[in-house]
Structure 1
Amino acid sequence: MNNDGCICAVCPIARRLGVPKFEPYFKIKSFLQKHGVVVRSSNYELYADLSEKMMNIIGRFADNQHIYSIDESFLHFDNYSKIITDWHQYGHDIRRAIWKETRLPVGVGFGPTATLAKAANHAAKKLPGFKGVALIDSQESSESILKQMSVGDVWGVGRRISKRLEQQGINSAFELSKVPIKIIRKEFSVVMERTVSELNGQKCLNWDEIKEPKKEIFSTRSFGQRVGDYHALKAALVQHGSIVSKKARNQSSTIKKLLIFASSSPHDDYYYKRSLIYQFPVATDNSCDIAQAIDHVLDEIFEPGVQFYRCGVGAIELSSRLFQQDDLFLPDNSNPALMKCLDKINNRWGQGTLKIGSEGKTEKWQMRREFLSPRYTSSWNDIPRIICS
């Protein structure tokens, strides 16, 4: 659950029981208790640590790796055909190594294009008979998998597009692959045209496009309890700003424009929302610059008497640090060495070990996580203790 308010993820067993996603927890609390469903709060620290361990293991199996999301990674096997003779076995080797070292079950899919590799990964996890590993290496294997996939399961096909396709009688991934490119281009977009071409084995997404950095980065969350204090709101916004700047540094981006907002609950009698855009004279990824920007606009956002329910910070215009053009009259104060030191300490000793002073020490405004599972791999206090006598 996110903020102990809404069900955001459901395991297969709970799904078969009928537990819906995105349902307010209080509405189905008695149902969950009646059936003995285990409820857990979002444990971001544990997820991030396990993800990092898993990605490091996956990276050992290829020279070129792209971490696509917290639980998904692409490997590019260039000139590996001479080394690997059994791709199924290689996939099982990857799964076995991850399970042995992290106890995380994964699916492995191989394909000649990124979209077909995603289709193979879907088959490895969701379709019967594959046992965690699927390979698309021929027309026959491609058709077999695509015929068993609904069109909505194709990478890049969202809900709206899948509904439009289904209304035209296109229900499976295989049927989508057979639609003429001219029709796809005319009725949909260039992106969908690329998807269909990739389903037919034509590489349209090169490695750089798959690894394209995010164009916007946001950190936003509702509070565990309402916030009506100026300094508490500032601390929350500065922490969101620190998260955004760290994500920007991770993809070698600098921030040109920053969106800062806070609001009460839309269910309140008086709904208050205020957002402002701060433009930096020189693009930056420095957490201190972000904190100063928040301090600069906070007086215009804060409203006395308002019980704030949600706030957030977003980098809405990013540029690459590798190709940044400096201003002749304004110095670059981003101080990459300082930020590298900050990230290194926090990565080594845990997020929040070192932070901006205006983030404050008290975190009563933090999200509610009453059902938090232990952070076995990232917190000293949560490491299991064994007493031998």
Structure 2
Amino acid sequence: MYALCDVNSMYASCEKVFDPSIRNKPVVVLTNNDGCICAACHIAKRMGVGKKFVPYFQVKDQLAAVGAVIRSSNYELYADLSQRMMETCERFAPHIHIYSIDECFLYYGAGSQLDYVPAEGWQAHAAAIRRTVWKEVRLPIGVGVGLTPTLAKAANHAAKKIEGYRGVAVIDNEQARRQILKQMAVGDVWGIGRRLSARLCDIGIHTAWDLSRARPALMKKQFSVLVENTVHELNGSVRLSWDDVRAPKQQIYSTRSFGQRITDKESLRHALVTHSGIAAQKLRRQAGLASAMMVFASSSPHDQEAYYRGSVLHRFTTPTSDSRVMANAIASVMNKIHKEGVRFYRCGIGLVDLVSTKNYQGDLFNTSKDNAELMKCLDVINAKYGRNTVHLAGQGIEQKFAMKRAFLSPQYTTRLSDLPVFECD
């Protein structure tokens, strides 16, 4: 059996955890640089003001009219609360797979007989997970239980979207499977996107139940093996799996738009070095080395000035994961990236042609300049005390390019100065 635990409107729910004054108000969270709506609580959605990826400036007056609370994305807070939620859910099952920042699968085993069955039954067990997460983390979640990951996803959809389930749904028999799948549109099935959904509707498959009754071989022939596996999963046969260790990335990019336009070369270099440090840390985490680095920066296509984009592919003499080597490489290509008079809106770097440290064979005539111990020390300190506690001087001290977050809430759990204060009479 599988259980899927999914936080309701993760970002908006996190904003309400430490601020009781906004728990009964519509809350909307914005993307980087306060550009678009990326999350909205159920109150905002009911009011019709929480549509995703709508530019904030277009609905600013509408949000103000209904008294919506606006928040900038507080990634530090969301990541910490996500970790606490995962640790709480982990106590309820032998195995856990973290699927995203707001979702995790719990796996209880399968075979001729279930390896684990809760004494209280699946319905009560799922309710206990939901209740415990709310009590200990104050995040509202939906819990769906099913014989396969896809059925667990379907049960979770019912728990959150179908009336009568109230946050918990279990598909452990034919009656429950039929009841839930008949109420699900085919586009709500895990792995069935908008375009695929339209194609399935064209041939008369409108609901998840219709898809479950399709012939798997025909679905493979007309669509793909993914759809074939989905049909099997909807009928209780496990076809999807995940590796205990995710495959390493083949490319690592770090890019972001600026909070305000920048024109000087030094500020642009600081921003690029900052991005190289972020990407290098991710590269070291997967025990990798980069043979080349893409460096790029551009103006905005929406500005009145002519659009400009500069990019350079820099190849390292020997593959590297050292932030210092990357920073020196950025300094050497700045004249090819920066252009006088350009108001830069965005920049970034990409580490490409990656190799594993375990498989890389060194070059006798080109020795590596990496200092693995120094980089390890850097990563340990920043992991313990927060990103950029220790960083390269090349990143600058006063960062003019910092992301715009005008509605940022306190980082209640990761910054000492933002710790909640309680006063007792």
Q: Decide: shared fold, TM above 0.5.
A: yes
Percent of aligned positions that are identical: 49
Answering whether residue 159 of structure 2 is matched by residue 124 of structure 1, we say yes
Question: Where in structure 1 are there 5+ consecutive unaligned residues?
Answer: none
Counterpart for residue 300 of structure 2: 265
Out of 375, 380, 386, the position equivalent to 2:422 is: 386
Counterpart Cα distance in 1 of 2:48 and 2:273: 40
Counterpart for residue 41 of structure 1: 72
Answering whether residue 146 of structure 2 is matched by residue 111 of structure 1, we say yes
Answering whether residue 184 of structure 2 is matched by residue 149 of structure 1, we say yes
Deviation at 1:38, TM superposition (A): 0.9
Answering whether residue 183 of structure 2 is matched by residue 183 of structure 1, we say no
- CA RMSD, aligned part only? 2.6
- 1:316-343 per-residue CA deviation (whole Å, 9 max, x = no partner) reads 554455x533234355555554333323
Q: Write the letter of the residue equivalent to 1:368.
A: K
Q: Go from structure 1 to structure 2 and tell me whether the alpha carbon gap of 1:121 and 1:263 turns closer, same or farther (over 3 Å shift).
A: same
Q: Go from structure 1 to structure 2 and tell me whether the alpha carbon gap of 1:8 and 1:254 turns closer, same or farther (over 3 Å shift).
A: same
Out of 370, 376, 400, the position equivalent to 1:340 is: 376
Contact 2:292/2:351 (<8 A) preserved: yes
- 1:62-103 per-residue CA deviation (whole Å, 9 max, x = no partner) reads 343222211112222237644523222222222222222211
- 1:39-64 per-residue CA deviation (whole Å, 9 max, x = no partner) reads 11111111111112222222233343
Contact 1:261/1:274 (<8 A) preserved: yes
Deviation at 1:282, TM superposition (A): 4.7
- 1:293-312 per-residue CA deviation (whole Å, 9 max, x = no partner) reads 43343332221211111122
- 1:1-52 per-residue CA deviation (whole Å, 9 max, x = no partner) reads 1211222222222222222322221122111111111111111111111112
Out of 291, 301, 325, the position equivalent to 2:327 is: 291
Counterpart Cα distance in 2 of 1:358 and 1:183: 58
Counterpart for residue 209 of structure 2: 174
Contact 1:66/1:211 (<8 A) preserved: no
Contact 1:258/1:315 (<8 A) preserved: yes
Contact 2:108/2:116 (<8 A) preserved: no
Counterpart Cα distance in 2 of 1:317 and 1:235: 24
Q: Go from structure 1 to structure 2 and tell me whether the alpha carbon gap of 1:69 and 1:282 turns closer, same or farther (over 3 Å shift).
A: farther
With 39-48 and 338-347 compared, the bigger mean Cα shift is at: 338-347
With 133-142 and 33-42 compared, the bigger mean Cα shift is at: 133-142
Deviation at 1:176, TM superposition (A): 1.9
With 369-378 and 106-115 compared, the bigger mean Cα shift is at: 106-115
For residues 354-373 of structure 1, what are the structure 2 equivalents within 5 Å?
354-373=390-409
Paired residue total? 388
For residues 216-295 of structure 1, what are the structure 2 equivalents within 5 Å?
216-268=251-303, 269-280=305-316, 282-295=318-331
Counterpart Cα distance in 2 of 1:166 and 1:333: 58
Secondary structure at the aligned position of 2:38 is classed as coil
Counterpart Cα distance in 1 of 2:148 and 2:286: 24
Counterpart for residue 84 of structure 1: 118
Q: Go from structure 1 to structure 2 and tell me whether the alpha carbon gap of 1:207 and 1:24 turns closer, same or farther (over 3 Å shift).
A: closer
Counterpart Cα distance in 2 of 1:309 and 1:62: 47
For residues 302-341 of structure 1, what are the structure 2 equivalents within 5 Å?
302-321=338-357, 323-329=358-364, 330-331=366-367, 334-341=370-377
With 241-250 and 350-359 compared, the bigger mean Cα shift is at: 241-250
